[in-house]
RNA sequence: GGGCGCUUAGCUCAGCGGGAGAGCACUUCCUUGACAUGGAAGGGGUCAGAGGUUCAAUCCCUCUAGCGCCCACCA
């Protein structure tokens, strides 16, 4: 016998283990089945499960489980990302605690140490994925620094370099002065900051007491100024173009140039130009051949290019000092408060400094061409489609991708330098040496480039590197291109677009046919959850309190397209209760001896109730399938919830009670078989969303030896509804509802009057009421259903009586006047509705232009309301109003 | 500055050219033999505001207000 409630914590681990051990997660590259493949976006190896993971992996698991049950050969490819900066930071923090450091250890030892860390702590996220019930093929788990994936990285790098799509360049990069590395535009987070706008006066050379005033938010960079720009048509400054200003504190002569970049309406209209420390100024400097003076070192402290007094100062300390010094000289015209966007490193949290350095770049603009065309052609479809705009706009304006990082943890760039600085890019050192020998005509000492690649470089290869590329493995041929990529929009740029580039380039095909973009899970204020904001809801905590299934169902039900998810805990409670409800329905079946009947075919059912529920179960199944095929996860969840609770438990189980306690053995047998058949059906349909409870119940009803639900075939859903049964049950349901609605009519304790009432509402039931008058009388007292019904009509009426008997007691307690008021109000409402409909039906244009169905619908509503009105009027008359 | 999205019951959210929905919360009643993590009944909404299109608008269009997100080099 099942317990009264479902205890997820007690069974989850064991069930998961039995799935994993059975090999149910594995793909079968040799099978004849049609493949279905999803690439798991590899979580950071440093990561732990957060709400965003919970959502994305739940949705992926639903698709995986659904297609697996549908008979596809599914591969959900799991793995983790080495997460360059993040991982290096974690290990460095550990070292710091031991009074050690990366530099003390040296590169080789440090990397060893990171691998050690990975071996010990790197499995956190994958363990947590298991508690979420995820069913990827763990036997194929990959890590972006695996030998195979690293080989793929080298191959790609070398080939792109050979084609000129990877090159070295000296440009401004986003420099992180804390982590001492370049970071990409995407890793920079702009934060609105209150600051000041300083108006500085630069003396004009050769014109005493004449100044040009520039406005800046970063006065300290003036030490690196090599020019001043004004708009060529700006009347205020036109005459100064071609003259020189003298840079205060430094004394450098700097030209005043005309450039359209200078906006006459902004600031003072004149802009100081610091080509080495500002992306715009870099461009302006380039146009006018201005020298680039780099005044910062790697810590963003002032270097020897700055005047003696400021050397070694931090940039923000220097700012204060410089402003103070300028004020002394009377060169600060004014200071306005100013709100500006300041770039911060999303990892380090410090202000990013545009800094001039040598880096490796990838020609993203060229690589983006084919991915753009592929989506335009529809080779890859975004769901929802509107995200294609985001994708397009980013790829169309894409900048060179800085792929080198000054870190130790990552894929070291396969480039070696000769004594004269010549670069040799090769997959191995041996090849590089050979190339160098050929180049120099003798053997040469080579030094490897110390930098590593941006983490996203290796993740960009994920859809094919995990399948064995560059080898032409059978997995690669079978599963690429993959079916769908499921991810949040926050990594369309980081990842999706780059996978598209690399996939198109190296596989000649897009990596996925569909990209499903889901919402982000936000906190109750609609903010993105993040560690730094401290607004994280821990999915593991929710799993512990409500069970994995409840969490999964909640996320699924909220995963509507195009809207972010604000998680409310009350939802979890509700869906936990849903699990309990299903659990107890099964318990009911068990208590009533419902067992699976071999060869039972619901299509052969005789009783109307049974034919009806079978039909309804089919309809629900069809809705689930339709929803999942369109990635409308919430609709699938909704259909299951409504059917299980609202149809099966609320109505069918109640209908089954009088039958199962009755004496018609044939009817009982059929109803028992049907009850368990429906539960079986629910358990199948629900399994992708709620795997644990369904597997548990399945074991219970099918026996330990049965094939596990995870690999069970998805039920066939027949399209045709049993319209006769549906119509008849609708009749019953409506009748019961009518009785409930006009329950004051039942305000008569005597059973004989009850019989009269039933007869009044449904004259056709008169015969039955006459024969069963005695029973009704008894029922009224006992509040339970008597035995003896076998035919459908009788069953139906028994149900009516059951509903009625309860109502009699209720109605008996109802205050008469209150009831009358309520009835009168209802009458008014119904009359208003009737007026509206009559008006509509009397509208000539409606009658000519509306669809025939719409008109028919209105007519039906009209007669429904008229019937209701008649009943209400009769009820009012009865109670003497 | 550009782009996208949102505004529906007290809360969290579905829905959508012809009857305003769910869950939770609330009110009343019910320890009935699956389930009190339950059952029954009920209250609560000019579907943000203003215009327009239409026989008909919560839904389509325009504008306004508020909120959110993404992108962007504005000194």
By CB atoms closer than 10 A (0-12, 13-18, 19+), residue A717 is: middle
Omega prior to A384 cis, within 30 of 0: yes
- Extract the residue ranges of chain A whose pLDDT is less than 50: 741-754, 761, 764-765, 767-815, 881
For A536, other C-beta atoms within 10 Å of its C-beta total: 13
User: Cα(A261)–Cα(A268) distance, rounded to whole angstroms?
Assistant: 13
| Of A148, A321, A126, A337, nearest in space to A219 by CA | A321
User: Cα(A40)–Cα(A487) distance, rounded to whole angstroms?
Assistant: 9
Q: Cβ(A678)–Cβ(A613) under 8 Å? A: yes
User: Cα(A616)–Cα(A612) distance, rounded to whole angstroms?
Assistant: 6
User: Cα(A627)–Cα(A642) distance, rounded to whole angstroms?
Assistant: 14
User: Cα(A255)–Cα(A285) distance, rounded to whole angstroms?
Assistant: 11
Q: 3-class DSSP state for residue A441? A: coil
A856 touches strand B (CB under 7 A): no
Q: In the complex, which nucleotide's C1' lies nearest to the CA atom of residue A587?
A: B34
For A415, other C-beta atoms within 10 Å of its C-beta total: 22
Buried b (16+ CB within 10 A) or exposed e, A308-338: eebeebebeebbebbbebbeeeebbeeeeee
Q: At what angle do helices A751-761 and A723-741 cross, to 10 degrees?
A: 130
Q: Cβ(A364)–Cβ(A501) under 8 Å? A: yes
Q: How far is the CA of A109 from the C1' of B70 (A)?
A: 41
List the beta bridge partners of residue A170: A358
Handedness of CA A764, A768, A770, A776 (dihedral sign): negative
- In chain B, which nucleotides are within 7 Å of a protein Cβ? 3-6, 11-15, 18-19, 23-25, 29, 32-42, 54-56, 67-75
User: Cα(A398)–Cα(A879) distance, rounded to whole angstroms?
Assistant: 78
By CB atoms closer than 10 A (0-12, 13-18, 19+), residue A228 is: buried
A697 touches strand B (CB under 7 A): no
A634 touches strand B (CB under 7 A): yes
Q: How far is the CA of A738 from the C1' of B30 (A)?
A: 21
Q: How far is the CA of A642 from the C1' of B52 (A)?
A: 39
Q: How far is the CA of A328 from the C1' of B32 (A)?
A: 91
Residues 138-177 of A with CB under 7 A from strand B: none
Rg (C-alpha) for chain A, rounded Å, is: 37
List the beta bridge partners of residue A339: A194
Helix, strand, coil distribution of chain A in percent, nearest 5:
55, 15, 30
A863 touches strand B (CB under 7 A): no
User: Cα(A864)–Cα(A841) distance, rounded to whole angstroms?
Assistant: 15
- Alpha helix locations (H) across A304-428? 315-328, 364-367, 369-377, 387-396
Q: How far is the CA of A647 from the C1' of B22 (A)?
A: 15
Cα atoms in the 13 Å half-sphere on the side-chain side of A133: 35
Residues 816-855 of A with CB under 7 A from strand B: 833, 840, 843, 845-846, 849-851, 854
Distances in Å between the alpha carbon of A58 and those of A9, A51, A519? Answer: 18, 10, 13
A266 touches strand B (CB under 7 A): yes
Helices (H) and strands (E) in chain A, counts: 33, 25
Q: What is the pLDDT of residue A807?
A: 35
| Of A181, A174, A44, nearest in space to A102 by CA | A181
User: Cα(A97)–Cα(A114) distance, rounded to whole angstroms?
Assistant: 15
By CB atoms closer than 10 A (0-12, 13-18, 19+), residue A235 is: exposed
User: Cα(A549)–Cα(A58) distance, rounded to whole angstroms?
Assistant: 10
Q: How far is the CA of A858 from the C1' of B18 (A)?
A: 9
Buried b (16+ CB within 10 A) or exposed e, A96-114: eeeeeebeebeeeebbebb
Q: In the complex, which nucleotide's C1' lies nearest to the CA atom of residue A274?
A: B75
Distances in Å between the alpha carbon of A802 and those of A26, A478, A645, A725? Answer: 52, 59, 20, 21
A738 touches strand B (CB under 7 A): no
Q: What is the pLDDT of residue A530?
A: 57
What element of type H or E holds A280? helix A279-287
Q: What is the pLDDT of residue A508?
A: 94
Q: Cβ(A693)–Cβ(A579) under 8 Å? A: yes
Phi-psi region of A446 (alpha: psi -120 to 50; beta: other; left: phi over 0): beta
User: Cα(A870)–Cα(A873) distance, rounded to whole angstroms?
Assistant: 5
Q: Cβ(A4)–Cβ(A584) under 8 Å? A: yes
């Amino acid at each position: 016998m099942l317990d009264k409630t479902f205890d997820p914590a007690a069974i989850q681990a064991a069930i998961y283990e039995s799935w994993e051990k059975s090999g149910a997660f594995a793909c079968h590259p040799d099978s004849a089945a049609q493949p279905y493949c999803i690439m798991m976006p590899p979580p950071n190896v440093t990561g732990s499960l957060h709400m965003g993971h919970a959502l994305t992996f739940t949705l992926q698991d639903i698709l995986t489980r659904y297609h697996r049950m549908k008979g596809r050969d599914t591969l959900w490819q799991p793995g983790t990302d080495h997460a360059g900066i993040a991982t290096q930071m974690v290990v460095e923090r550990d070292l710091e605690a031991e009074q050690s450091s990366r530099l003390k250890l040296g590169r080789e030892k440090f990397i060893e140490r990171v691998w050690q860390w990975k071996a010990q702590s790197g499995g956190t996220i994958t363990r947590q994925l298991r508690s979420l019930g995820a069913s990827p093929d763990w036997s194929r788990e990959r890590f972006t620094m695996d030998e195979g994936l690293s080989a793929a990285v080298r191959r790609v790098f070398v080939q792109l370099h050979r084609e000129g799509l990877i090159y070295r360049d000296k440009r401004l990069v986003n420099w992180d002065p804390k982590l001492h590395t370049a970071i990409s535009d995407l890793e920079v987070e702009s934060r609105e900051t209150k600051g000041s706008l300083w108006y500085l006066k630069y003396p004009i050379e050769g014109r005493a007491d004449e100044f040009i005033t520039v406005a800046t938010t970063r006065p300290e960079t003036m030490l690196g100024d090599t020019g001043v720009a004004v708009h060529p048509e700006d009347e205020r400054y036109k005459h100064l173009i071609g003259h020189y200003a003298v840079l205060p504190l430094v004394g450098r002569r700097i030209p005043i140039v005309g450039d359209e970049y200078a906006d006459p309406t902004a600031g003072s209209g004149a802009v100081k130009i610091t080509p080495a420390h500002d992306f715009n100024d870099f461009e302006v400097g380039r146009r006018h051949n201005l020298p680039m003076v780099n005044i910062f070192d790697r810590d963003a402290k002032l270097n020897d290019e700055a005047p003696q007094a400021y050397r070694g100062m931090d940039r923000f300390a220097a700012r204060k000092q410089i402003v103070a010094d300028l004020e002394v000289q009377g060169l600060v015209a004014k200071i306005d408060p100013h709100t500006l966007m300041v770039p911060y490193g999303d990892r380090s949290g410090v202000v990013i400094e545009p800094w001039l350095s040598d880096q490796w770049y990838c020609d993203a603009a060229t690589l983006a061409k084919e991915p753009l065309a592929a989506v335009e052609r529809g080779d890859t479809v975004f769901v929802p489609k509107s995200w294609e705009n985001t994708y397009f706009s980013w790829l169309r304006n894409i900048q060179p991708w800085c792929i080198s990082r000054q870190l130790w943890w990552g894929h070291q760039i396969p480039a070696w330098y000769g004594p004269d600085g010549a670069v040799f890019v090769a997959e191995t050192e041996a090849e590089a040496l050979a190339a160098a020998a050929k180049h120099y005509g003798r053997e040469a000492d080579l030094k490897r480039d110390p930098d590593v690649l941006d983490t996203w470089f290796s993740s960009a290869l994920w859809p094919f590197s995990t399948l064995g590329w560059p080898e032409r493995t059978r997995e690669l041929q079978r599963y690429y291109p993959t079916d769908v990529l499921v991810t949040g929009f926050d990594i369309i740029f980081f990842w999706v677009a780059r996978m598209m580039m690399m996939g198109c380039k190296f596989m000649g095909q897009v990596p996925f046919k569909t990209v499903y973009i889901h919402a982000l899970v936000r906190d109750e204020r609609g903010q993105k959850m993040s560690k730094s904001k401290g607004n994280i809801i821990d999915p593991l905590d929710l799993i512990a309190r409500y069970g994995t299934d409840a969490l999964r169902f909640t996320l699924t039900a909220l995963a509507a397209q195009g809207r972010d998810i604000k998680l409310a805990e009350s939802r979890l409670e509700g869906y936990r209760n849903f699990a309990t409800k299903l659990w107890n329905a099964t318990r009911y079946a068990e208590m009533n001896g419902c067992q699976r009947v071999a060869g039972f075919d619901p299509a052969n059912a005789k009783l109307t109730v049974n034919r009806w529920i079978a039909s309804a179960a089919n309809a629900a199944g069809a809705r689930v399938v339709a929803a999942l095929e369109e990635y409308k996860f919430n609709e699938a969840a909704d259909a299951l919830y409504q059917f299980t609770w609202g149809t099966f438990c609320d109505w069918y189980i109640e209908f089954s009670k009088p039958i199962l306690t009755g004496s018609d053995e044939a009817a009982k047998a059929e109803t028992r078989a049907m009850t368990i058949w429906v539960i079986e059906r629910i358990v199948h349909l629900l399994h992708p969303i709620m795997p644990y409870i369904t597997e548990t119940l399945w074991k219970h009803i099918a026996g330990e030896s049965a094939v596990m639900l995870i690999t069970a075939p998805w039920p066939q859903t027949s399209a045709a509804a049993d319209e006769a049964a549906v119509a008849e049950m609708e009749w019953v349901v409506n009748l019961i509802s009518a009785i409930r609605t006009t329950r004051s009519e039942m305000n008569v304790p005597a059973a004989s009057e009850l019989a009269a009432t039933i007869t009044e509402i449904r004259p056709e039931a008169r015969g039955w009421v006459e024969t069963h008058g005695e029973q009704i009388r008894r029922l009224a007292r006992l509040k339970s259903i008597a035995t003896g019904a076998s035919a459908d009509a009788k069953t139906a009426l028994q149900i009516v009586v059951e509903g009625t008997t309860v109502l009699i007691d209720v109605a008996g307690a109802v205050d008469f006047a209150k009831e009358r008021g309520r009835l009168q109000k209802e009458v008014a409402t119904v009359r208003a509705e009737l007026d509206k409909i009559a008006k509509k039906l009397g509208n000539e244009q409606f009658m000519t232009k509306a669809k025939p169905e719409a008109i028919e619908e209105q007519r039906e509503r009209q007669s429904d309301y008229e019937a209701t009105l008649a009943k209400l009027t009769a009820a009012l008359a009865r109670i003497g109003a």
